[in-house]
Structures are given as structure tokens and as C-alpha cells.
Amino acid sequence: MCLRLCLFLLFPIAISSVTTTDTDLPAFREAPAFRNGRECFKTVWSPEDRTHNPSIIHIAMTLDAIYLRGSVAGVFSVLQHASCPENVVFHFIATQRRSADLRRIISSTFPYLTFQIYHFDPNLVRSKISSSIRRALDQPLNYARIYLADLLSASVRRVIYFDSDLVVVDDVAKLWGIELGRHVVGAPEYCHANFTHYFTSRFWSSQGYKSALKGRKPCYFNTGVMVIDLGRWREGRFTVKLETWMRIQKRHRIYELGSLPPFLLVFAGDVEPVEHRWNQHGLGGDNLEGLCRNLHPGPVSLLHWSGKGKPWLRLDSRRPCPLDSLWAPYDLLRYSPLISDS
């Protein structure tokens, strides 16, 4: 009691605890229903559809217990700012172990949301993953983005992939509408970044490895925000190409940073550039300390807490970074008050 009272005196707000479900997963408030604007063409999507419908925006995200709070905030932000929210379909990738519980949570939090949950088998990648500089980057679900073309229905010809630590503050239809041309992937590129830092000296000392980048001017891009042409991906068998680099990494240790380097080796220099406003990344700091960062110069359509620091953890610990306050309005976590401030 003394501890709670002392905390109450130090912080002039209600002291509360997180409400959990009977499965020990957090509980969330129900999001309001977001409806299409008058200019929207109302359409319905079903997993059984066999034809591509250009009016529907497909978004893929992973779903797990650790990042669930971030995923819910991300979905909420997309719907709140979308001009045609009823035309947005979410494709969640989850492991079999908690998928039923996660489905119930998404259904109760977003009763009007059209979504599908796909089971991802961790054994697909477990033998191909090598340790990286941060444990979170080694989780099998972090590699699920490589398998979107295999998991999603063939009628889904195009998808936006979002990480679970971001919020969208603009109409996602603008991102969906970019022209990919001949490219398979569209993403903001950062050509000022030192590309050599993403690979070990063993990679750069091998003429065979370096030749993979021949004929391209590779630039860094963050794989937490990508527009993907799944039709071209399937035709080009890009999952196999990414897996090949993962196997090489397992034997020869040519990089240190999880699922990102294979994407750089396969796509860097062949990416459709997207405005930087669509991935203000790095707000979680680096992968070791997670220190506070400022926004990059320019307009903002998406805020991304890539890096070690996550806004919900820093807010709960009462040590937030200034920009974490921009994530907080999308947090639907349900709290149970312990001490009333009335």
C-alpha cells in the first residue's frame, strides 16, 4: 500500500494495472467503427476470391504475444486515417500456438475489420536462422515476410507489409497507389547510409559474394515498410533467392542483422523509391541501447519505432522519449484502475 501511495504522490494521475484476458494476453478497448467516405466504392473480400480487386487494400502484419500491443495500435492508426477503411483487409501472420487467442482479441477489438490469420510454421526458418546482434531479430516470425507470397491467396497480387512497431498518420491509399513499374518491391531508400556496414569482412573479401551486387547501385532500405508485387515475386521465385542467402549466412557468417541483409542482397538497387515520409524509421534508437531519436527532416506519413526501444515499454516504465507521445493516442490497451484520482 505504501508503494502505491508513494507512486500516486509522485505522479498526479491514476495508478492502474494492465487488464489481461484469461490467456494472459493483454485486453484492449473496442475500437470505434470507421466507415468509408462517399467517394469509396464499397467492396467485400473473401479468402475464396480468385480475382484481383483493385479497390481493396491488402496489408500484412505479423501477430504475436510480445508485439500484440504494437500491432493493435498499428491497425487502429491505419483505419483512423484511411479514406476507405472498409476496403482495407489485414492479413495477419501468426504461429499456430496462440492463433486462436489472437483471433479472438482482434475480433473483439475491431469487430468490423476484415482480416485473415495465416499459420506460419517456425520450422520453415529455424534451421536457417543464425544469431544476430539482438535476440528479437532472431525470432522465426521476423522472417515471415519472406513467405507472404506463399501464405496469402493467389488472388492477392499486391500487399503492403508493415512491422508491428509503427503507426500510420496519413491515408494508406496514397502508399498503396504508388506505381512499382517493373520492380517487385517499393520502399523508401536511404542511399547516404554506409551500405558496407551491413555485411562482415568475410562478405566483402569474397569476389563471389560481392558479385551478387554487380550492375546495381545498392542503397539501404528498411524492410518494415514495403509495397510488394506478389505476382512478380512468385514468378521470380524470390523466396528461394532469399533462403539461399540465409543458408550461406548459416555456414559463413556474412552479416549480423537478422532478416534485413538477405533483402538487401536480393533487392537493393532494384527497389522502386517511395517518399521518405512513409518510413520515419529508427525512432526506437539503435539495436543495442535504444536511445531517443529525433524525426528526420521533412513531412511525416508513418512513424516507425525500429530499433531496440519500443514506445509501449518506455511509456509503461515512465521513461518515455519525447516522440513516444505520438504513439500513445493509438494505444487501445485496457487498464484497471487501482487508485482513483477522484
Specify the CATH number for the domain of residue 248: 3.90.550.10
In this structure, are residues 242 and 266 in contact, taking their beta carbons and an 8 Å threshold? yes
Domain count, the chain: 1
**pLDDT for res 196:** 85
Does 176 fall in a domain?
A: yes
Res 41: pLDDT: 81
Total Cβ atoms within 10 A of residue 268: 22
> Residue 183 and residue 238: Cα distance in Å, rounded?
12
Please give the pLDDT value at position 184.
98
Reduced to 3 states (helix: H, G, I; strand: E, B; else coil), residue 98 is: helix
Residue 2 confidence (pLDDT): 39
CA distance 146 to 164: 16
pLDDT tens column, 288-313: 777 899 998 999 999 999 999 999 99
Residue 333's DSSP bridge partners are 28
- Whether 318 maps to a domain, the answer reads no
DSSP 174-243: HHHT---TT-SEEE-EETTS-GGGGS-HHHHT-HHHHGGGTT----EE-TTEEEEEHHHHHHHTHHHHHH
In single-letter form, the type of residue at position 120 comes to: F
Q: Does residue 41 form part of some domain?
A: no
- How much is the pLDDT for 133? 56
> What's the domain range around 264?
57-280
pLDDT at 8 over 80: no
Q: Is 9 within the bounds of a domain? A: no
> For residue 300, is it within any domain?
no
Q: For residue 3, is it within any domain? A: no
| Cβ neighbourhood burial of 302 (10 Å; 0-12, 13-18, 19+) | buried
Is residue 43 included in any domain, yes or no?
Answer: no
Residue 158 covered by a domain? yes
How does pLDDT run across 125-147, given as a tens digit for each residue?
888 877 765 566 678 899 999 99
